[in-house]
Structures are given as C-alpha cells and as structure tokens.
Amino acid sequence: MRAILLDRPGDRPGAPRIVECDPPRAGADEIVVRVAYAGCNFADTMLWRGRYPHPRPYPLVPGFEIAGEVSAIGAGVRGFAPGDRVAAYAATGGGAAEYCALPAAAAVALPAAVDLVTAAAFLVQAQTAWHLLHTVSAVGAGEVVLVHAIGGGVGLHLTQMAAAAGAIVIGTVGTPGKERRALEYGARLVVDRTAEDFVAAIGRFLGGRAVDRIYDSTGAAILDQSFALLRPLGQVVSYGEAEGPPLANLWSRLVEKSLTFTRFHLGHLDPSGPPWREGLRLTLGAVADGRLKVPVERVYPFTEARQMLEALESRKVPGKLVLAVDAPANLPEPRS
C-alpha cells in the first residue's frame, strides 16, 4: 500500500514522501479501514516539524482522522462488517495511508447523509470543540467566551457550539479575512490581532464586562495578554501552543484572580468511554442534520501532502484541509 512517511522530525527537500509498505492486519478488537480521505490537523504539521507535544517515534505515518470503508475486522469486534462506511480517530497516527488499523472503539458508522469528505474533516475538531465546552468546562447561556484562532477548524466548531449553547462568542484571528466565516457562524466580534490591540478592542466591545472563559490554541504572549480580560474565578481552557508554551509567569497570572487553567488533548479520552461516545453521538448527529457545519476548504491529491501541510502551517486557511488517499480530490456537492 501507499503511505505518507515522515522519516524524522524537521524539514528537508522531498519530505514528506510517498512509500510502499505492507498493509496492516486487524488485531484483536481492531478494524482495518481502507482510507478514502484523511483529515489534516495542526498536529500533523507539528509532527512534520518535530514540535508535537506528545512524542512519537520516527519514522512515522501522520494522520489522526480518516474516513473510508472497513476492509477487515479482528477477533472480538462487534458492530462492524467489511464494507461499512466509517469515520475513525487514529490516536497514534497512521491515517495518511491506503489502509489503517485501529481500535474498533475509535470508529463510528456513518449515516447516509454524511459523505466521506465531511466524515474525514469533522471528527477530531468537532470532538475537541465539544469536550472543550462540555467536558473540561461547562459553558453556560449568557457567558462571554473568547476563542483565539477562531477562524481555524476547531475555532469554527467552537463558535457554532458555544453560540448554540447561548454564549456570547468573541474571537481573534492572526490573518486578515479569516474573521468572515466565524461571524457567519455566530461570533459577535472577531478582532484581527495584526491590525489592532485585541485586548483594547474586546474591552470596548464588552463595555466593561469581563470574559468568563478563554479557549486558546496559541499560548505564549497572546495567552499572556488575554488574562487582563478575564473575570475573577474565570477559566482558561488550553488546547494548543501554536505560538509557543504559556509564559513562565502562568502561576502568577492565575493567582491574581483565582483563575482556573485547564489543558485538553483529545487523545487522553478513552474512545470506549461514555464521554467520548456521547460527544460523538451528538456531534455526528448535528453534522448529519445540518446543524453543525463542517468547513472543508480544500481536498488535496495524495501526491500533494507537503503542499497541504504548508498551507495549513501558513495559518491562512479558514477551515479544514483534507487529503484524498484512495478517492477523488474534489469537494462534495453542497447540501440543499
């Protein structure tokens, strides 16, 4: 089978590269999926550059979410059969290949209303957003939530879900133009950090009211500046460090207002546990009936994996990128 291989962290001409390797076999409680599409996440760019905070041994095949058909099932698997259309979370990677073996508990059967491109694009980001809002925090109606990188994939899911919960959603972007879709999805205000002081702009918009919760994937100085906006007993929910780890003064920032700081990684949830299954049931149902929009920006051919990673790394992408593994590189028809 063909697979995208990262030989070692860092960059060099020609990497990542396509290799031929033996397809995996299904172990006990596992399925093998013939991959049609693989979703691209910022974690894949961090693997490429050697900055992923959860170490993986190299060489490796990236790709944490896939959609396709079950090709084989292992001993003990119930509820799946060869030919079933599924989406799945590949917690250790390996999705950027024509076949991927993973625990059956990490897969979900797809309703007819969800096409395979959308299925490859929603699972990681929608699940991450849902658990950020409802598992590691509890967003409430009328709360003010600030979402950094609101124009990215997780940010757009957070916007829709928080707005549906009755929250007042505001956000920031680091690239002009990425505010448009967030505003369409329910954000009240989006500030371009490259054009103005986001702390001052949000303060003016709120008219003296403080922010209840911050959902942050940036870290470093952007996070540090954000503490000025939080109310006492407010909460920061971190799910990434695109700009760098939180600054060394994090403890003193929390002490100033008795704040709570929470870090979340989807891979630390048990896919067979009730929180995962409930989040997946609700998010997939919302995708299937159109309540949750999955913003797929582009589908790349398998031979253009590097270009896809570079595009996502540029932070100019307002939504999701998908790799066509064993399927056409085109977007699905818009739903009526």
Residue whose entry in the numeric block shows the structure tokens 């059967």: 109
Is residue 1 predicted with pLDDT exceeding 70?
A: yes
Is residue 4 predicted with pLDDT exceeding 90?
A: yes
Which amino acid does the sequence have at 208? G
Q: C-alpha dihedral over 45, 51, 52, 55, to 10 degrees?
A: 130
> What is the length of the chain?
336
Looking at residue 335, its pLDDT comes to 55
pTM over cut 0.85: yes
Looking at residue 334, its pLDDT comes to 54
Gap between the Cα atoms of 232 and 315, Å rounded:
32
Looking at residue 316, its pLDDT comes to 82
How confident is residue 53, by pLDDT bands cut at 50, 70 and 90?
confident
Average pLDDT over residues 83-97: 96
Is residue 195 predicted with pLDDT exceeding 70?
A: yes
Taken in order 125, 126, 128, 133, is the CA torsion positive or negative?
Answer: positive
Output the CA–CA distances (angstroms, integers) from residue 31 to 42, 80, 123, 268, 274, in the order listed.
26, 8, 18, 21, 21
Tokens of 216: 């942050």
Domains within the chain, CATH numbers bracketed: 2-123+270-324 (3.90.180.10), 136-263 (3.40.50.720)
Residue 190 contacts by C-beta under 8 Å, 6 or more apart in sequence? 150, 151, 170, 171, 172, 173, 179, 182, 183
DSSP 53: S
Is residue 255 predicted with pLDDT exceeding 80?
A: yes
How confident is residue 52, by pLDDT bands cut at 50, 70 and 90?
confident
Closest CA to 125 of 143, 147, 142, 145: 147
DSSP 196: S
Least confident of 12-21, 143-152, 169-178: 12-21
Is residue 55 predicted with pLDDT exceeding 90?
A: no
Looking at residue 46, its pLDDT comes to 87
Gap between the Cα atoms of 89 and 65, Å rounded:
5
**pLDDT top residue among 20 and 51:** 20
Gap between the Cα atoms of 270 and 264, Å rounded:
13
Is residue 251 predicted with pLDDT exceeding 90?
A: yes
Task: Respond yes or no on whether the N-terminal peptide bond of residue 53 is cis (omega within 30° of 0).
Answer: no
Average pLDDT over residues 20-24: 95
Residue whose entry in the numeric block shows the structure tokens 């100019």: 316
Residue 245 contacts by C-beta under 8 Å, 6 or more apart in sequence? 219, 220
Looking at residue 299, its pLDDT comes to 96
Looking at residue 336, its pLDDT comes to 41
Write the pLDDT tens digit of every residue in 277-286.
Answer: 999 999 999 9
Gap between the Cα atoms of 255 and 166, Å rounded:
29
Residue 91 has φ and ψ, to the nearest 5°, of -60, -30
Looking at residue 178, its pLDDT comes to 92
Looking at residue 79, its pLDDT comes to 94
